[in-house]
């Protein structure tokens, strides 16, 4: 059987190919090869008396990456000639959630039995090191096993799966908090793993030998450690996929919306847990580097984090001199932009920064200069409506490239209109891109991408960067344009938006209620 890492990769690659095929067709409703649909079917509800199939994904280690309709029990039952095509697609979506959990459980089991409980490894690791490295993975595995058994029981109740989202909802509410604990430990886990590889040759040797075992199928130890975070995120997407296929205003839509909402809460808590650990350390590090020429501003705060930092060129002299074509007009300054504060510095010896101005982020305005010649290319005006001296100040700043200029302008003034309008504006059409290469964010204003992510393009630069908004969670950020393929078919783009509005409609109704209460 497939390990979860293999399963996940194959599933996302298939999703990409399906979308590519749809994008090349004129009608997005045309069936893709991965969704084999039976010929004309007569509607009937005569499925209730079928004998329940005996399918045990947990006990059968040879379970393969199959479609629901490919199972021998389903083919021999005659049910494919009875169900409508849309119901078959829904069955496939629910079945994928179950089979992927079986694959995930198998990989977790390998992490525990093959790595964590290895006798040689246990002798090398101190108890505290093992705790940081493996965290509460036993709790996570126990939760996965209980969840999978309930899913399997539902599959075996009837040859046609009635629902799985009610089970997802119950387990998310009652058990999935173990994921938050595991994922929040991720920063310490990664650091401990790197340190052990560096400091303990015996640890490095044992891990390398364990990774070579055929059971691991060439996959690294670190790919097993990150499984829980990948799974909880993927589970939310699988529920979204079900939600797109259930009939509107039905009981199954209600349970899918409820399950999605609870999963979203857990995923956000996981993300926040990871960010909190790294942000605190980063803020302490920045505080140590700053020396204030002006009145000191306390940098460290629980509600503050870094959005962007970097060097820009500041233009000297009055604005009238901006037409002069000389590089001497510019000198280096360094900006630290936090979610609520901008600090403007000059770098000084000893890896320190001298702060000479600051302003609340909400009191920043930006303006791009256009057609000013080569020496003033990528120049923009930054206005501080109220700076450290309680007065208005302006800076003419030059970036190293067009993408760097746009990235600074969007970070400094996030409410400034972008080239294209975002998902949240409910635009009928907007440029879209699907991710075909995973990307790990290198800077705070960048967005990490997973295979098959679909994003609205909000802005793009001539030097190969895109500012996008991911449809499934509305997260925004920059990424290289080479990571994706633009979706050209307007019908597919409209379908993606429609599905997204449906997934988030419970969020919208909540926002409308909140807005109504605020107005009152």
- Residue 229 to residue 190: CA distance in whole angstroms: 13
Please name the helix (run of DSSP H) or strand (run of DSSP E) that holds residue 393, with its range, or none: strand 393-398
Neighbours of 283 (CB within 10 A): 18
**Helix, strand or coil, per DSSP, at residue 412:** helix
Nearest alpha-carbon partner for 247 in 359, 465, 394, 84:
84
- Assess if CATH 2.30.30.40 describes domain 423-515: yes
Angle at 302 between CA 300 and CA 306, to 5 degrees: 60
Residue 352: CB partners within 8 Å, gap ≥ 6? Answer: 289, 290, 291
Q: pLDDT tens, position by position, for the chain (520 residues)?
A: 688 888 888 888 888 898 888 888 765 444 443 443 333 333 333 333 333 334 455 444 444 547 898 888 888 999 999 999 999 999 999 999 999 999 999 999 999 999 999 999 999 999 999 999 999 999 999 999 999 999 999 999 998 999 999 999 999 999 999 999 999 999 899 999 999 999 999 999 999 999 999 999 999 999 999 999 999 999 999 999 999 999 999 999 999 999 999 999 999 999 998 888 788 889 999 999 999 999 888 899 888 999 999 999 998 754 444 555 544 578 899 999 999 999 999 999 999 999 999 999 999 999 988 766 666 788 999 999 999 999 999 999 999 999 999 999 999 998 766 666 554 555 557 899 999 999 999 999 999 999 999 999 999 999 999 999 999 888 999 999 999 999 999 999 998 998 888 887 655 544 444 344 343 3
Radius of gyration over every alpha carbon of the chain, rounded to an integer in angstroms = 27
Only one residue has tokens 């209109």, namely: 417
Neighbours of 176 (CB within 10 A): 23
- Residue 416 to residue 477: CA distance in whole angstroms: 15
The answer to whether the CB of 466 falls within 8 A of the CB of 479 is yes
- Residue 342 to residue 383: CA distance in whole angstroms: 11
**Pair of tokens at residue 387:** 């700076």
pTM of the predicted model as reported, rounded to 2 decimal places: 0.79
**Pair of tokens at residue 453:** 């992510």
What are the residue ranges of helices labelled H in 213-336?
Answer: 221-225, 227-245, 251-289
Q: Is the sign of the CA dihedral 137, 140, 145, 151 positive or negative?
A: negative
How far is the CA of 244 from the CAs of 238, 240, 274, 400, 502, in angstroms? 10, 6, 30, 44, 7
The answer to whether the CB of 383 falls within 8 A of the CB of 393 is yes
Instruction: List b or e across 459-484, with b for residues whose CB sees 16 or more CB atoms inside 10 angstroms.
Output: bbbeeebbbbbbbbbeebbbbebebb
The answer to whether the CB of 232 falls within 8 A of the CB of 267 is yes
- Residue 179 to residue 234: CA distance in whole angstroms: 13
Neighbours of 65 (CB within 10 A): 16
Neighbours of 510 (CB within 10 A): 12
Compute φ and ψ for 257, nearest 5 degrees. Answer: -65, -40
**Pair of tokens at residue 258:** 């409820």
Ordered strands of the 476-480 beta sheet: 476-480, 465-470, 454-460, 432-435, 484-487
Which fold would CATH assign to domain 293-412? PH-domain like (2.30.29)
The answer to whether the CB of 466 falls within 8 A of the CB of 484 is yes
Nearest alpha-carbon partner for 86 in 252, 258, 260, 264:
252
DSSP code string of 471-490: TTT--EEEEEGGGEEEE--H
Going by their DSSP bridges, the two strands 290-292 and 352-360 should be labelled as parallel
The answer to whether the CB of 81 falls within 8 A of the CB of 38 is yes
For residue 275, the model assigns a pLDDT of 86
Domain layout of the chain by residue ranges: 65-284, 293-412, 423-515
- Residue 261 to residue 257: CA distance in whole angstroms: 6
- Residue 52 to residue 405: CA distance in whole angstroms: 62
- Assess if CATH 1.20.900.10 describes domain 65-284: yes
Angle at 278 between CA 275 and CA 283, to 5 degrees: 110
**Pair of tokens at residue 107:** 């990989």
Residue 179: CB partners within 8 Å, gap ≥ 6? Answer: 140, 143, 228, 229, 231, 232, 266, 270
């Amino acid at each position: 059987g497939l390990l979860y890492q293999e399963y996940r990769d194959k599933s996302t690659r298939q999703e990409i190919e399906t979308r590519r095929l749809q994008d090349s067709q004129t009608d997005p409703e045309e069936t893709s090869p991965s969704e084999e649909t039976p010929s004309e079917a007569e509607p009937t509800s005569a499925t209730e008396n079928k004998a329940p199939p005996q399918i045990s994904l947990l006990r059968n280690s040879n379970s393969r990456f199959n479609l629901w309709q490919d199972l021998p029990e389903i083919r021999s039952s005659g049910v494919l000639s009875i169900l409508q095509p849309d119901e078959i697609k829904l069955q496939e979506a629910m079945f994928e959630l179950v089979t992927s959990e079986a694959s995930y459980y198998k990989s977790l089991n390998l992490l525990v039995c093959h790595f964590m409980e290895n006798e040689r490894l246990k002798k090398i690791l101190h108890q505290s090191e093992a705790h940081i490295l493996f965290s509460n993975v036993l709790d996570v595995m126990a939760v996965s096993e209980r969840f999978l058994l309930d899913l399997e029981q539902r599959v075996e109740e009837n040859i046609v799966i009635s629902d799985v989202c009610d089970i997802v909802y119950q387990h998310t509410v009652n058990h999935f908090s173990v994921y938050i604990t595991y994922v929040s430990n991720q920063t310490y886990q990664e650091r401990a793993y790197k340190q052990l590889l560096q400091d303990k040759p015996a640890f490095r040797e044992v891990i390398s030998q364990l990774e070579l075992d055929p059971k691991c199928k060439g996959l690294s130890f670190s790919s097993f450690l990150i499984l829980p975070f990948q799974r909880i995120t993927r589970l939310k997407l699988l529920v979204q996929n079900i939600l797109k296929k259930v009939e509107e205003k039905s009981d199954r839509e209600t349970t899918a919306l409820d399950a999605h909402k609870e999963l979203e809460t857990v995923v956000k808590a996981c993300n926040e847990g990871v960010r909190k650990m790294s942000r605190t350390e980063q803020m302490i590090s920045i505080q140590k580097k700053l020396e204030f020429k002006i009145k000191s501003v306390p940098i460290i705060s629980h509600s503050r984090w870094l959005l962007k930092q970097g060097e820009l060129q500041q233009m000297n002299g009055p604005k009238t001199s901006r037409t002069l074509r000389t590089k001497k007009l510019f000198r280096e300054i360094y900006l630290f932009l936090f979610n609520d504060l901008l600090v403007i510095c000059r770098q000084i010896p000893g890896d320190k920064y001298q702060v000479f101005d600051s302003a609340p982020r909400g009191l920043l305005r930006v303006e791009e200069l256009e057609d000013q010649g080569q020496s003033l290319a990528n120049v923009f005006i930054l206005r501080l409506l109220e700076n450290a001296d309680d007065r208005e100040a302006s800076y003419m700043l030059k970036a190293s490239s067009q993408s760097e200029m746009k990235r600074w302008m969007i970070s400094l003034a996030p409410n400034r209109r972008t080239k294209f309008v975002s998902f949240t504006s409910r635009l009928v059409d907007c440029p879209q891109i699907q991710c075909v290469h995973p990307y790990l964010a290198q800077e705070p204003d960048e967005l990490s991408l997973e295979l098959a992510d679909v994003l609205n393009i909000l802005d793009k630069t001539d030097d190969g960067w895109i500012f996008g908004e991911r449809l499934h969670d509305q997260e925004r950020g920059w990424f290289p344009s080479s990571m994706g393929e633009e979706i050209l078919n307007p019908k597919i783009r409209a379908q993606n938006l429609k599905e997204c509005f449906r997934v988030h409609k419970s969020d919208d109704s909540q926002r409308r209620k909140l807005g109504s209460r605020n107005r009152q």
